Structure 1
Amino acid sequence: MNVLRPRAEALGQSLPPLLAAAEQLAHTVMLGEHGRRRAGTGDEFWQYRAAGPGDGSRMIDWRRSARMDAHFVREREWQAAQSVTLWVDRGQSMAFSGAPDRAPKGDVAQLLALALAVLLLRGGERVGLSGTPPRPGRAQILRLAEAMAAEAAGEHASPDLALTPMHGRVVLISDFLGPMEGVEEAMARASARNARGVLLQILDPVEEAFPFDGRTVFESMTGATRFETLEAGALREAYLARLAERKARLAGLARASGWHHHTHHTGQPPQAALLWLYQAMERAA
């Protein structure tokens, strides 16, 4: 901790509120010390289940079975640490917010990623950010927060999954409104390493509803693209069709790779999205 203290102080005033918010959010969905309970090779007893085909005599709990007219297997909870790689889109498009009182997409993405990391690390998992190896321990939260605070990239960013461990898990959080080639290539690389994961799409309600009408100027977050129209309402149908097409492409890509896809809106409470992420990690294991 002595090594981390100067780094923590150097982060300034932006990270402590984010870390505190992530910790608080994680507490709202905490499912126990090791919430993702599944059968495995650990030492901690989980449950009894009826013996079935393939269960050898050594697996049967004869003392428990003697009290019933059936054979029971004593299952133990899986305790082998898993490696999880997080990628949070740092493109400028994530800085968009459709209302002054609504957090930008990037802030919501960072909050959810850090809160998920809190839950995973407390469960004994190893967690890393794209481009860095996963590590265990509470101190890793500070490293992740520091990495997320790095300067934003261009309009859109692409995930780097080159260091994804074999049989690891991956979480990609983005608006996924930019070119899809980088995402597809990264997922293919992860799948080649037998890694599975989730795609969490973060969108502002304005991007879902397209409530524009009349004269409107559309400008990208970097200012590189600008479009002015006198009849914005006439574009709504085509825009919504393109958005639905992008969502369908993401869902299809997830299905083909054995991944999971979900959309979260910045106007919604983050607890539901975090719970979905946490449970999706169990399904991706």
Structure 2
Amino acid sequence: MARVRVLPEGARSPGRHETESALSLARRMPRLVLEARRVAANLAHGIHGRRRAGVGESFWQFRPFVTGEAAQRIDWRRSGRDDRLYVREREWETAQTLWVWIDRSASMGYSSEFAQAPKIERAVVLALALADCFVESGERVGMLGLMAPRATRRIAETMAQNLVADRSSLEDDLPPGAPVAPQHEVILVSDFLSPVPDIASAVEGISARGARGHLVMIVDPVEETFPFQGQAVLHDLEDGLSLRIGDAESWGRAYRERIERHRSELQEITRRRGWTFTIHRTDRPASEAALRLLTLVSAARGTNLRGR
């Protein structure tokens, strides 16, 4: 039978009990930050151009020089190949804003012997790695209800510091429902085991003004397969309830069917809003989910994904 464990409350706020002094984050939660850096090192997100002329770094096109323009705009190398003067235009680029939310409720502390990491640790690593990639490509990243968007190169450390300091949201298994500005992007990382109507309400609230979003469901392998047999006791980590069952194998079949329905309903929620839905198992590398999220964000914006 699979062995499982549940992290205590303190472990869902990584590093808080290691010290109460103003030590650097590298000493407070080194393993998760370093793991996020390792994942991010293999990923990168391209600059998101608007395919129009303007201020930016990427070349867009040459066009003929127009009388009255400043002479310093002339590209003399290109003009030397023709009998006309040309101006090098750059693609207009703007920093986009991405919001991240990490579920740190009790169920996220679940871990089985088959997992590479507890759900909460995988969620933190994935969120920090994605933030690092987005900031590297010139974007701003914030945390819903916790941190305003920033473009600091130390975004992973900054986000982790906010997680360490915050204790107010350890019981919240749903993100704040406040509307996010149009064209902003939201990534919600959770096991999404809450009732579907509650999840739908949170998604509707966030996207009310036109924000795009992505649900990332973190799943322990045991939560998918339910490999138990004989008598078992099930514990509700959120409400503290327990249920003793006599035939776990028979009960497991009904459980798997219900989980499948739950996911289908979540997919319908995201489909209605034009969001995406990703399932990530904790027995798989974090880089798999990170790469999929970068690809989905790129596809939604019509941009290209490139590696470092």
Task: Give the TM bin, normalised by the shorter chain.
Answer: 0.7 to 0.9
In 2, Cα distance between equivalents of 1:283 and 1:8: 41
Structure 2 portions without partners, runs of 5+:
1-19, 62-77, 83-87, 302-308
Give aligned-pair identity as a percent. Answer: 33
1:197-254 alpha-carbon deviations (Å, 9 max, x no partner): 1111110000111101101111123571111112100112211111101111111111
Q: Does 1:143 align with 2:158?
A: yes
Superposition deviation, residue 172 in structure 1: 0.5
Superposed counterparts of 1:103-118, under 5 Å? 103-118=117-132
Which residue of the partner structure matches residue 10 of structure 2?
Answer: none
Q: 1:153 aligns with which of 143, 152, 170?
A: 170
- Which letter maps to 2:56? D
CA deviation map 1:37-61 (0-9, x unaligned) = 663555333567xxxxxxxxxxxxx
Q: Tell me which stretches of 4 or more aligned residues in structure 1 moved more than 6 Å.
A: none
Query: Pairwise mapping of residues 1-285 of structure 1 onto structure 2 (< 5 A)?
Result: 9=23, 11=25, 13-30=27-44, 34=46, 39-41=51-53, 42-45=55-58, 77=91, 79-99=93-113, 102-131=116-145, 132-149=147-164, 150-151=166-167, 153-154=170-171, 157-162=173-178, 164-221=180-237, 224-285=240-301
> Closer, same or farther in 2 for the Cα pair 1:140/1:29, shift >3 Å?
closer
Deviation digits for residues 52-71 of structure 1 (CA, Å, limit 9, x no counterpart): xxxxxxxxxxx89x99xxxx
CA distance in 2, matches of 1:282, 1:235: 41
* CA deviations over 1:125-176 (Å, ceiling 9, x no partner): 111111132122224432211223334623x611014262332110011111
| Cα distance in 2, alignment partners of residues 84 and 171 from structure 1 | 8
Structure 2 counterpart of 1:243, one-letter code: I
Q: Which has the larger radius of gyration?
A: 2
Structure 1's unaligned 5+ residue stretches are 1-5, 49-62, 68-73
Q: Aligned partners of 1:282, 1:233: CA distance in 2, in Å?
A: 42
- Secondary structure at the aligned position of 2:111 is classed as coil
What is the alpha-carbon distance in structure 1 between the residues aligned to residue 243 and residue 182 of structure 2? Answer: 45
Q: 1:40 to 1:160 in 2, by over 3 A?
A: farther
Contact 1:197/1:284 (<8 A) preserved: no
Instruction: Kindly provide the amino acid, as one letter, of the partner of residue 134 in structure 1.
Output: P
Task: Encode CA deviations 1:4-24: one digit per residue, 9 max, x unaligned.
Answer: xx9861658442221111111
Counterparts in 2 of 1:40 and 1:182: CA distance versus 1, 3 Å: farther
Matched residues in 2 for 1:130 and 1:76: separation?
A: 34
CA contact 1:169–1:284 (8 Å) conserved in 2:
no
The 1-side partners of 2:225 and 2:184 are apart by 36
Give the RMSD, CA atoms, in angstroms. 2.8
CA contact (8 A) 1:40 1:75 kept: no
Decide whether aligned partners of structure 1 residues 274 and 7 sit closer, same or farther in structure 2, where only a CA change above 3 A counts.
farther
- Greater share of residues in strand: 2
Shift of 1:117: 0.3
Amino acid paired to 2:170? A
TM-score normalised by L of structure 2: 0.74
